[in-house]
Structure 1
Amino acid sequence: MGFGRRLLSASYVWFTVLLLAKMALLRYLCFGEVAWTRLGSDAAAVAVLTSLTALVLPGRGQTAAYWLLNAVVSTILFASTIYFAHFGSMPIYTALLELNQVPQVQASVQSTMDPMFYLFFADLPVLALLGLLLRRGSRTVSDYSPSYRRGLAAVALVACAGIAAAGIRQGLAIDNELAAAEKQGFLGYQVIAAIKAGRESRMASAADLSQTVGEIKSLQAAYPYRAPGRAAAAPAHSGEAKGMNLIVLQLEAFQNFPIHLKIGGQEVTPVLNELADGAYYFPRVYQQIGQGNTSDAEFMSNTSIYPTAKIAMSTGYGDRALPSLPRLLQRSGYKAYTFHVNDVKFWDRNRLYPALNFDRYFDKPYYNNDHFNDFGASDEELYRFGIEELAKTSEEGTPFYAQFVTASSHFPFKVPADRQRLQVPEGLQDTQLGDYLIAVNYTDYAIGQLIEGLRSKGMWENTVLAVYGDHYGLQPDDNDPAWVSEALGIKYDSRVSRLNIPFIVRVPNQQGGVRVERTGGQLDMMPTIANLLGVKPGDAGIVPFGQDLLNVDRNIVGSRYYLPTGSFFNDEVLYMPGTGFDDGTAISLATLEPVKDLSPYRGDYDYIMKLMGLSDRYVRLLPKR
């Protein structure tokens, strides 16, 4: 009898056990524990794979198929663990569509690697040795007839599929993605994600766009964003910058805590400090990005639509004619441009920008590469070129909207020595926090160069400048909140402070700065800017899911990627669900301390879940271009 036939049943057992061990390893690396009581879900799912292999390939090719299955699953778990370490979220199968992005952020990926991740491949030499030993093995079930062996495989497949299906049914009721992944295991979570995606797709295909818009407006009208006496009043600050140019700076990995922070007597962000003191400054704004990260921030700030968190919006919805800020301003004669030093194909921006209807985009080939970091050109070069282009439009008498997406403060925050301007204390040197502050300080300096360039071209006094961060910078696993708090002399929370980003809007000739304490998110930026420019989103068919932060008395913003689905910030707390609402947690935004009584926030939870669901349906129904 050949080696493959004798090893058949042994292969089934060994590879099933081996893959289960790797599922346990993923649990340990991602969730900090193995949770043995939950390995039953992993065992059932793994046994489905190996039983299906045994059923489909009962002959000599079975062992080779097990080796291939092992290699594929190992690679997926390895990549998923890296993804989790970098983003703090468990990836679903749609993340495979973004694998082409990895070479662009190679330094970021390498910096999150842990040698333990390679344990997913440690079995290769062990299995080779085991194969040699098993050549001397005794009689096994593989000596039985092929039909008998297929029968055993079929019985195992049906039994394990039934167990896995029961767990998946339970997991479908859990909106918290991390809770579902931890409870049902990696493979079960992928099935849950696929089933939910199928349900949402069927619901969207059966829906009507105009009907959905009506549901959105009805739901939003029922939420008390405005006090009764203010609801019918004309918007405050409307048209303060009517007809002016607009520049929006999306700052890479820029959190809010460096604003007005001093290190060793040095201001970390002197330019932004001065800007904030004379502008509308919103210190309680939070990131809401999904799987597309930076590109999702661009999507939100221009559309005021929630990312689905199932796929990068540039990839999944770049074929749509998106209602957007460029389209709104083009109705008033504006030209809309976007500037980024990276290749426009990164995050499928070559699809996103036409979907948003920018008139032109300027990507990597337009800049002199001064080799600042892995992306190439520095923020200074980005702004230098941008000013030259905008000056041409300004000289024609045409107003413009220009979006700049910066990259100099990208993780892992390595600024060339000759560009460093901030001297961090010895205790922060060669730490991620110290590197981050140096990178943020450089980003701030470059903004100063942009302002000077606008002044020299005579554009500064006719230009609204909006600045915001796309997402957090400090990696939670590398920056203990207690240490950050002690090192900086501030109170830092790994969730609230980490997701808190700056939003500043400077209007020329503004009489003094205004600090707006209203809670907000990236969805709120477009409606707020539109009001200042005196344009109405509805005129361009825009249905905003965010609010004008200068004209609400209460606000709520949802989040569902770096936080579990159902999480939200309102004016009081950050709330995060568990397996449902009742076992969730809340943190006070004012004190950064836990809040025990969750009952006041049940209505906000129900509202934000409905609103995000309608947003998903709405974007799916938008016409293709």
Structure 2
Amino acid sequence: MPKFIKNTVGKVNTTLGFFTLTVVLFWLKTYIAYQHEFTLGVKGTVQQFLLILNPFPTAIVLLGIALYFRGRLRYWLLMIIDTLQTTWLFANILYYREFSDFMSAGVIKSSGAASNNLGTSLGQIIHATDFLVYADVVLLILLLVFKVIRIDPRPFKIRYAATMTMIGVALFAVDLGMSEHDRSDLLTRTFDNNYIVKYLGLNTYAGYSFYQTEKESATRAQASSSDMKSVLAYLKKNQAGENVKYFGKAKGKNVFVIHLESFQQFLIDYKVDGKEVTPNLNKFYHDKSTLSFDNFYHQVAQGKTSDAEMMMENSLFGLPTGSAMTQYGTSNTFQAAPAILAQKGYTTAAFHGDVASFWNRDNAYKSWGYDYFFYSSYYKEKADYKIGYGLKDKIFFKDSVKYLEKLPQPFYAKLITLTNHYPYPLDKQNVSIQKTTTGDSTVDGYVQTAHYLDQAFAEFVSYLKKAGLYKNSMIVLYGDHYGISNNHRAAIAQLLGKKSITNFDLAQFQKVPFMIHSEGIKGGVNHTYGGEIDALPTIFDLLGIKNKGYIQFGTDLLSSKHDQTVAFRNGDFVSPTYTKLGSTVYNSKTGKKLTDMTDTQKKTVKQMQNHVTTELSLSDRVIQGDLLRFYTPKGFKKVNKSDYNYKVTKTLKSLKELQKEKKTSVLSKNKGKSTVDLYQTDAPELSDSSSSSSSSSK
């Protein structure tokens, strides 16, 4: 036997040597799985390093448990723990292949690996090569059984075992610290399970998932049907009713909800060097058939975009910390807009140029009752097609048409834009307006991506008109949250043309656009105060759907009884009369602090604060206690999440079959001829495409 091999075998014959070999082999197969079985979106040197590092800490700690035992038991415990970790890896490889997500504790607790019909399709998704993840375990066991590697009978000192545990913990601390530096609020504001695995590893994700599930289960277990009494009593007392002048004015029409990423109200009619930043949105905003709201505020917290979606489609607030969509989107019962509309004859679909798992959309959308979800896997992807978090808006809108034209009408379609997202990068070929000159590099590019979004929107509207969709659709636009945070006070002051700004100014800066366009309605700029929580009841009013009976914390902005006190997620509020930020109260008309308030003013502010606190806490109770499982509105059929599957092959097959069953889609009405060629875009990335031509949107 060569000396090198002999020395190597000699080292492996020691407890520490065998332990090290087991750890390294487990790390190797995990890293290979990361690269070939999962789509983790690793970018840059830091993330690559963390991907290499993250299997080690938990493997060392978990396998290190065996080191505290003696003799043969130590070795067989190593193999048992190694097998358990490998089984978790194996299960996630299969689950990810089917659902593009990792197994959660909630999935395991509710129905195990068979959740979402995984069990019935196991034979179709499993590959013979998947079992290679067990190769190292089998090899090590055989080497032990046939005594190629001999069991070291000597006691392994406790201090050595403790040292290995400490090394594992120290490596985890390094991993967590570097991860938080690269992606802040990684665990407190969870974006995507892929992020946790990418940064902290599959084993850490398992622990995090079980912690979150147990925490949620405890709250859920304590809830009962009687908790709904206070919610129903509050909603009955605060019911606003509909506006008879507008009720049903858009009944039966298609609904487009266009999500304007990070888009703030100040951009409307804003100019840079005399040039409008958003000329097309400005025109839409001032159209005679557009209801525009200039005192509409975002109400998001840590969940940002996901909070906005939660409010827009459920009229439930996001959570004080974290994201309701990621924490409760999979397990909770919802009565969301897509499900309500689907039960009234609408086809419902969401479009997004990012991965399906971000903000847990692929699971939350099933809970909300979306028939279809078109995400990054449905779109052609090239390096220059993407920027930041996904597809550039012009390409996204254009490539969505091939699916949009196949949806039976009436439909409810949500399109989520991405390009106008922090930190607002835009390649030179797409820049067509100058930056602002505040000197803040984060802020100054904001108008360029907003201008690009504006152009993309114009191209989409042009298509809707050519395809015959514009007149028979209600088009809803909203900004999801701020684009420029309050940390950029000096830059904000310059943008607003002020020498300095107050906290009151910053509160007003949280306004986002909300516009509803439908041919035949009387439009105009409405000064009513409201927020994202009020969007759904307002949309339902125009569609002729009474929201009485639904658990919605917003009220119709068009109703004369709408409460204009707008709650911020932290408990502050704005209204036409008073604005309360922390302990300071401002006169909303003048922006001045109220230092010597009368007893009447104090009483009014206190009542407003109680109202805000109550609605926020009741909304939290609904989500955290999953209270909607105890209550079903009259005529509403509970959503069955297993009815939905967003895999590409199944969706495309379903759309093909629908063209035969229903003849109401744009494609069917056009006798099978696609309308994709009607779409005109000046996107330079598509300049070689025959379907692209110069657009008049600029």
- TM bin, normalised by shorter chain, reads 0.5 to 0.7
Deviation string 1:434-459 (CA, Å, 9 cap, x unpaired) is 20011111111111111001011011
Whether 1:612 aligns to 2:616 is yes
Match of 1:621 in 2: 627
Tell me whether 1:550 sits opposite 2:558 in the alignment.
yes
Q: Which deviations, in whole Å up to 9, do the C-alpha atoms of 1:543-587 show, x marking residues without a partner? A: 101111111343223333xxx3x223333344244xxxxxx2334
- 5 Å matches for 1:72-91? 72=172, 76=176, 91=185
Structure 1 residue matching 2:258: 3-state secondary structure: strand
Shift, 1:308, TM fit: 2.0
Deviation at 1:67, TM superposition (A): 6.5
**Contact 1:468/1:501 (8 A) holds in 2:** yes
The reply on whether 1:253 has 2:262 as its aligned counterpart is yes
The counterpart of 2:194, out of the listed 100, 106, 118, is 100
Secondary structure of 2:464's match? helix
Measured in 2, the distance between the counterparts of 1:519 and 1:298 equals 20
* Matched residue, 1:473: 483
Contact in 2 for aligned 1:254/1:501 (Cα 8 Å): yes
- Assess if the C-alpha contact under 8 Å between 1:246 and 1:400 holds in 2: yes
Out of 251, 259, 281, the position equivalent to 1:242 is 251
Asked whether the equivalents of residues 556 and 569 of structure 1 are also in contact (C-alpha less than 8 Å), the reply is yes
Match for 2:527: what amino acid? E
Q: Is the contact made by 2:438 and 2:494 (CA closer than 8 Å) also made in structure 1? A: no
Q: CA deviation at 1:96?
A: 6.1
Q: Does 1:215 align with 2:230?
A: yes
The more displaced of 63-72 and 467-476 is 63-72
Q: Compute the RMSD of aligned alpha carbons.
A: 3.3
Aligned to 2:539: 529
Q: Is residue 354 of structure 1 aligned with residue 354 of structure 2? A: no
Q: Which residue of 2 aligns with 1:602?
A: 606
Distance verdict in 2 for CA 1:376–1:474, change over 3 Å: same
Structure-to-structure mapping, 1:23-62, within 5 angstroms: 59=159
What's the offset of the Cα at 1:414? 0.9
Number of residue-to-residue matches in the alignment: 448
Give me the whole-angstrom Cα distance separating, in 2, the residues matched to 1:72 and 1:446: 44
The one-letter code of the counterpart of 2:554 is: G
* Secondary structure of 1:519's aligned partner: strand
| Aligned counterpart in structure 1 of residue 300 of structure 2, from 274, 289, 294 | 289
Alignment partner of 1:444 out of 451, 454, 476: 454
Secondary structure of the residue aligned to 1:474 is coil
Q: Residues of 1 paired with 2:190 and 2:468: CA distance?
A: 47
Question: Partner of 2:221 in structure 1?
Answer: 205
How do 1:11-22 and structure 2 match up within 5 A? Answer: none
Distance 2:591 2:167 in 1: 50
Corresponding residue for residue 335 of structure 2: 323
Q: Distance in 2 between matches of 1:499 and 1:103?
A: 33
* CA distance in structure 2 between the partners assigned to 1:83 and 1:493 by the alignment: 30
- Does 2:310 match 1:302? no
SS in 2 for 1:246: strand
Contact 2:325-2:361 at 8 Å conserved across structures: yes
Q: TM-score normalized by structure 1?
A: 0.65
Shift of 1:77: 5.8
CA deviation map 1:89-117 (0-9, x unaligned)? xx595446856338999xxxxxxxxxxxx
Asked whether the equivalents of residues 368 and 377 of structure 1 are also in contact (C-alpha less than 8 Å), the reply is no
Instruction: Judge conservation of contact 1:409–1:436 (CA < 8 Å) in 2.
Output: yes
What TM-score, normalized by structure 2, do the two folds share?
A: 0.58
1:390 equivalent in structure 2: 404
Matching residue of 1:586: 585
1:102–1:349 CA distance, 2 compared to 1 (3 A): same
Q: Is the 8 A contact 2:298 2:512 kept in 1?
A: yes
Contact 2:388 2:421 (8 Å CA) reproduced: no
Structure 1 residues 437 and 364: CA distance shift in structure 2, 3 A: same
C-alpha distance in structure 2 between counterparts of 1:373 and 1:76, whole Å = 27
Other-structure match for 2:473: 463
Partner in structure 1 of residue 84 of structure 2: none
- Contact between 2:443 and 2:491, CA under 8 Å: does it hold in 1? no
2: CA distance, partners of 1:104 / 1:535: 44
Secondary structure in structure 2 of the residue aligned to 1:402: strand
Say if 2:348 and 2:411, in contact at 8 Å, map to a contact too.
yes
Distance 1:92 1:264 in 2: 39
Q: CA deviation at 1:339?
A: 0.3
The structure with the largest alpha-carbon Rg is 2
Q: Does 1:567 align with 2:572?
A: yes
SS at match of 2:465: helix
The amino acid that maps onto 1:100 is N
Aligned-partner Cα distance in 1 for 2:368–2:502: 35
Show CA shifts across 1:20-56 (max 9, x none).
xxxxxxxxxxxxxxxxxxxxxxxxxxxxxxxxxxxx9
- Secondary structure of the residue that 1:554 maps to in structure 2? coil
Instruction: Provide Cα deviations, 1:296-334, integer angstroms capped at 9, x if missing partner.
Output: 222221111112234322222222341011112112211
- The amino acid of 2:610's aligned partner reads D
**3-state SS of 2:265 partner:** coil
Identity %: 26
For 1:308 and 1:59, the matched residues in 2 are separated by 45
Question: Structure 2 CA distance, aligned partners of 1:612 and 1:260?
Answer: 33
C-alpha separation between the residues in 2 aligned to 1:586 and 1:76? Answer: 40
Q: Which runs of 5+ in 1 are unaligned?
A: 1-55, 85-90, 106-193, 578-583
**Post-superposition offset of 1:483:** 3.8
Query: In structure 1, which of residues 443, 453, 459 is the aligned counterpart of residue 463 of structure 2?
Result: 453
Aligned partner of residue 446 in structure 1, secondary structure: helix
In 1, are the aligned partners of 2:190 and 2:323 still within 8 Å (CA)?
no
Supply the distance in 2 between the matched residues of 1:464 and 1:549 (Cα, whole angstroms): 16
Give, as a single letter, the amino acid of the residue that structure 2 aligns with 1:571. Answer: P
